[in-house]
Structure formats: structure tokens, C-alpha cells
Amino acid sequence: MTNALGTIAPALLEDWFRDRYFAATTDISSSGVENWTLGRLRALLDIPIADLDAIAFRDSPSCGHEELTSAIRDRYPALPGHRIMVTHGSSEALFLALAALLRPGDEVVVPAPAYQSLVSTVEALGARPVPWELSPDHGFVPDLDRLAHLLGPRTRLVVANFPHNPTGATLTRSAYDDFLGLMAGHPAHLLWDGALAELGHDDERLPDPAGILERCVSTGTYSKAFGLPGLRIGWCAAPAATVRDMVRLRDYTTLNSSPVNEFLAARVMRHADTVLAPRLRTVRRNRELLMTWAREHPRLVDCPPPAGGVTAFPAIRTVTDTRALCEHLAAERGVLAVPGDCFGHPDRVRIGFGGPTGELTTGLDALTAALTDMPAAV
């Protein structure tokens, strides 16, 4: 196998969103919470406009300004030998980490279903993805015995993202400890996609594994729980040698982040609970609304309860391929949902419940009407 980034597979989810995201009037597709405006964020955190006016438009350091990296480390403690690196969203951190760590012929264990970049980037780098199947028959709950059987002599990396996108499955604290014990006993690296780390529903937030495992790259983002996807700020904690390799690759692409964005990101991180709390209240209310809807329509949907995150991945009982259904919702009703084929399960739909409650209610009503009218509607 050869390294062929130029032939990387099209990103199905991004292709789906590209022409529909900005045209939709009702969004029940997102894997994040309701977005903050700059004005509301300034008021919430008491940021004077003079503080923004004082920022000079110079380059930031390659790994991010110290004010931001120290704020991230304080909230998500990492081992002393790990370094914090600020990136353009966690997507850049994941991409750079994969490119820095993988060589052709390596094997990478990846949960399935998965966010596509975690698979396609591995393939484009000449490595082989090994699917860690999360079974819908068991509510997509991660099976650690299955993972143990997938680890072999060529396993270079294990990717994990819990809470999981798109299913909402996660690990209990006990299972998380067993998972880290399994990783500690194998020479593979852990690539922990912590995009949804702040969005557990039944248990406290899991500790960041970069504070426990030496061979670990842990990533995070402002795009999901923090409601700031347009800030385009993410981060990773990784061994210093790995960060050096990631910076070397970044020197050919984005170089660094914006000082304006890093200033806002540092303020948010220092007051994270203030920013998170109102959105988490909405998320938990919406989760109950979604599950009530699913219980009221058992002939239409089968929805495993999401234990974390802000997405559910219900099976649609009345169709085997939901793309036409989602196209109808977008074109005729202005409702955006995600067809399951973007995640390898064409009989399912990804529903996001992190936005305004009224928008979720409108979207679910439209989905119910479309399913009730099938096949005339689709």
C-alpha cells in the first residue's frame, strides 16, 4: 500500500451538508448544541469590546498562545510529558495525528459506525482500518472483548470516540477503566476523539486519557458542547515528540490559529461551566423529548437511547434506505436530517437534539408526517 492523500474518498457527510445546511429552516442534523453569538458570549463572560480592539493581527505560536494552552491543560489535565497543541478544530488535530503516527501497512482499529475522516484518512495514508463493530442489536454499546480480539502485532493505533458519533453510545466509568487497562497492555497508541466529552448524560465526564496513558493523543473541540463551531478552534494533548511531528506537517498547511479566536477560546475555557451549563440543560430536556417521541412511534422507529452526545441513530422501520426520506424532508419541508448511509447504515437516520427545543419538535413532527405518508411522500 502507498500513501495517497490525493485520492482520499469523498466525505459523504460534508457532501450531504454542502448544499443543504444553509438552505434548511429546521435543523435536526447537528452533532453540536445551539450556537452562541459573539454578543451573547461577550455578555455571558463580561468581555469588554476594548479587549477585542487591543488584539494585534499577528501570527500565533505554532502550538497556540500560552493563555489558551494553559487553560486547556487546567481543565483536561495531561501527563507532564504531553504537550497541548491548538488546531483548526479537532478535525485538524485528528488528521495531523494520523499522518504523524501511521505508516503504510499499519493497522488501525476504528469503531464502526464512524465519523468518516477517521476511516478514510487511515486508508489514504496506506494503513488498514480494522472495524470495531458497535452492534445495533445491543444498542451500540462498546464490546471490550470484541476489541481485545482485534488487537494484533500490526495494530499501530486504536481510535475511540465516546460519547460516540452518531449513536450516542459511551463507556461507563468502570468500562472506561477496563478500556484503558486493555490499551496499557498493548504497544498501540490511543487516538481519543473527545469532541463530545462534555456531553455525557448518565455519568460524570470521563477523565481525559492523556492524563493517564503515555501513548495517547487526545483531542477536543469548541464545535460541539461549547456551541462555537465557527470559532474553528480545537486542540490535542500528545507526547512532545508526536507534537513535533504534527507541527512539522502543519508548517505546510495552516501554520497556526487566529489570535482573535484564541483570545475568545481562552476566555471560554476559563469559564467553561458558565458556557456549558445552559446548553446542557437544553440538551437533557431535548433528549427526553426525543425518547418520548420514539416511544410514541414504535412502528416507525427503533431508537437506542443515547447515553452521551447530542445525536441519536434510530432505525426507520418503514424503509431500507433513508436517503430519499431525508431528501424529501430537506426539499419539501426545509428539515435537515442525515441519511444513515453517511455512516454505513442506510436504514437509519442521524437526528441531532442539541439545538433549540422548538426546532427539534418541528423537525420530529415533520419526520413523523413524512413517515406516516410513506410511500407517497418519498
pLDDT tens, position by position, 153-199: 999 999 999 999 999 999 999 999 999 999 999 999 999 999 999 99
The predicted pLDDT at position 378 comes to 55
Q: Is the CB of residue 88 less than 8 Å from the CB of residue 143?
A: no
Task: Give me the helix-helix angle, 259-270 and 38-45, nearest 10°.
Answer: 50
Per-residue pLDDT of 31-88, as tens digits, reads 999 999 999 999 999 999 999 999 999 999 999 999 999 999 999 999 999 999 999 9
The predicted pLDDT at position 175 comes to 97
The predicted pLDDT at position 202 comes to 82
pLDDT at 377 over 60: no
Q: Extract the C-alpha cell encoding 141.
A: 454499546
**Is the CA virtual torsion 328, 13, 188, 170 positive or negative?**
negative
Q: Which residues, including other chains, have CB under 8 Å from residue 198's CB and lie 6 or more apart?
A: 205, 224, 225, 226, 272, 276, 280
Smallest Cα–Cα separation from 34: which of 281, 331, 243, 263?
A: 281
3-state secondary structure 132-195: EECCHHHCCCCCHHHHHHHCCCCEEEEEECCCCCCCCCCCCHHHHHHHHHHHHCCCCEEEEECC
Per-residue pLDDT of 292-350, as tens digits, reads 999 999 999 999 999 999 999 999 999 999 999 999 999 999 999 999 999 999 999 99
Q: Is the CB of residue 234 less than 8 Å from the CB of residue 95?
A: no
Average the pLDDT over each of 196-210, 298-312, 356-370 and give the range with the smallest value: 196-210
CATH class of this structure's domain 5-38+274-370? alpha beta
- Identical fold for domains 5-38+274-370 and 48-271, yes or no, is no
The structural domains of the chain, with segments of one domain joined by +, span: 5-38+274-370, 48-271
Per-residue pLDDT of 124-166, as tens digits, reads 999 999 999 999 999 999 999 999 999 999 999 999 999 999 9
The predicted pLDDT at position 203 comes to 77
Smallest Cα–Cα separation from 217: which of 196, 246, 256?
A: 246
Amino acid at 346: P
Instruction: State the Cα–Cα distance between residues 164 and 350, nearest whole angstrom.
Output: 12
pLDDT at 19 over 70: yes
Q: Extract the C-alpha cell encoding 333.
A: 419541508
pLDDT at 375 over 70: no
Q: Which fold has domain 48-271?
A: Aspartate Aminotransferase; domain 2 (3.40.640)
Q: Is the CB of residue 109 less than 8 Å from the CB of residue 157?
A: yes
Smallest Cα–Cα separation from 110: which of 159, 55, 161?
A: 159
Q: What is the mean pLDDT of residues 215-240?
A: 98
Contacts of 51-56 with CB under 8 Å at 24 or more apart are 51/263, 52/260, 52/263, 55/259, 55/260, 55/263, 56/259
Q: Is the CB of residue 130 less than 8 Å from the CB of residue 107?
A: yes
Q: How far apart are the first and last CA of the chain?
A: 42
Smallest Cα–Cα separation from 131: which of 353, 343, 355?
A: 343
* Mean pLDDT, the chain, whole residue set: 96
Report the number of secondary-structure helices (H) and strands (E) in the chain.
13, 14
Q: What is the mean pLDDT of residues 233-244?
A: 98
DSSP 8-state code for residue 28: -
Q: Which residues pair with 348 in a beta bridge?
A: 315
Task: Give me the helix-helix angle, 89-101 and 117-124, nearest 10°.
Answer: 30
pTM of the model: 0.95
The predicted pLDDT at position 3 comes to 59
The predicted pLDDT at position 204 comes to 83
Residue 228: strand, helix, or coil: coil
Smallest Cα–Cα separation from 273: which of 16, 71, 51, 25?
A: 71
Instruction: State the Cα–Cα distance between residues 160 and 236, nearest whole angstrom.
Output: 14
In the block, residue with C-alpha cell 505560536: 61
Q: Report percent pLDDT > 70 for the chain.
A: 98
